[in-house]
Amino acid sequence: MDDTTKKGPKKRERRKEARPDEIIAAAIELWKVRGFAATRLEDVAIGAGVAKGTIYRYFSSKEALFEAAVEARIVRSVDQANQSADLFEGTTEEALLTFFEKVRREMVEGGSFIFLKVLLSEGHRFPELVERYEATVLRRGFDAVRRLLLRGVARGELKSEAAEFDPRLVMAPAMMLSLWGTVFPGVGAPDARQLHKQNVALLLGSLGVE
């Protein structure tokens, strides 16, 4: 048995299955610093420690890479949050606060705010990315809120008007918090948990059953 056999497969061979996630992670870090347009696939390849040709094995273009990153980092999390909400047995207030806390953790602590930052600053140059984000992320988020409101109506905790309430109004604070550091750099962000509590309190004050 020679030395090569003893050492096992090369590093790139061992990392083959993890490679798409590593490419996505490298791209996100570059988008944070350089933005989307200025980041080349060559740069992503260097950041991920792979050849440029390797990226094309998984992603046909930079736009496809962005869409895959959104799918991996946000869509799956929103779907999981929706599933958790369907199984949640607490009150409507608790369900809303739990949902918004999951959104906060993913967008702020998980770093997924970068997608909104890219779309805010460069979306006019890449309208297809905006359309894709709206279709895959925003609609899911709004649908989750709508289902929570309908759940509240069914449980007798919210007035029937809640069924027609625009979910974008409910989601607005979460969207604002996700963009705060981009729009107001250097300005202290609001306390996310407190803001969500106040938002839910206003909602229940308006739509809650006394």
Over residues 142-192, the pLDDT tens digits come to 998 999 999 999 999 999 999 999 999 999 888 888 888 777 877 888 888
Q: Is 118 within 8 Å of 133 (Cβ atoms)?
A: no
Q: E-strand spans in 146-195? A: none
Over residues 4-32, the pLDDT tens digits come to 444 444 444 444 544 899 999 999 999 99
Q: Report if pTM > 0.85.
A: no
Over residues 65-104, the pLDDT tens digits come to 999 999 988 888 778 777 777 778 899 999 999 888 888 8
**Can you tell me the distance from the alpha carbon of 207 to that of 210, in angstroms, rounded to the nearest whole number?**
9
Intrachain domains 1-59 and 61-207 with the same fold: no
CATH 1.10.10.60 fits 1-59, yes or no: yes
Q: Where are the domains of the chain?
A: 1-59, 61-207
Q: Is 73 within 8 Å of 24 (Cβ atoms)?
A: yes
The alpha carbon of residue 28 and the mean position of all alpha carbons in its chain are separated, in whole angstroms, by 12
Q: Is 165 within 8 Å of 100 (Cβ atoms)?
A: no
**Number of C-beta neighbours around residue 171 at 10 A:** 19
CATH 3.30.70 fits 61-207, yes or no: no
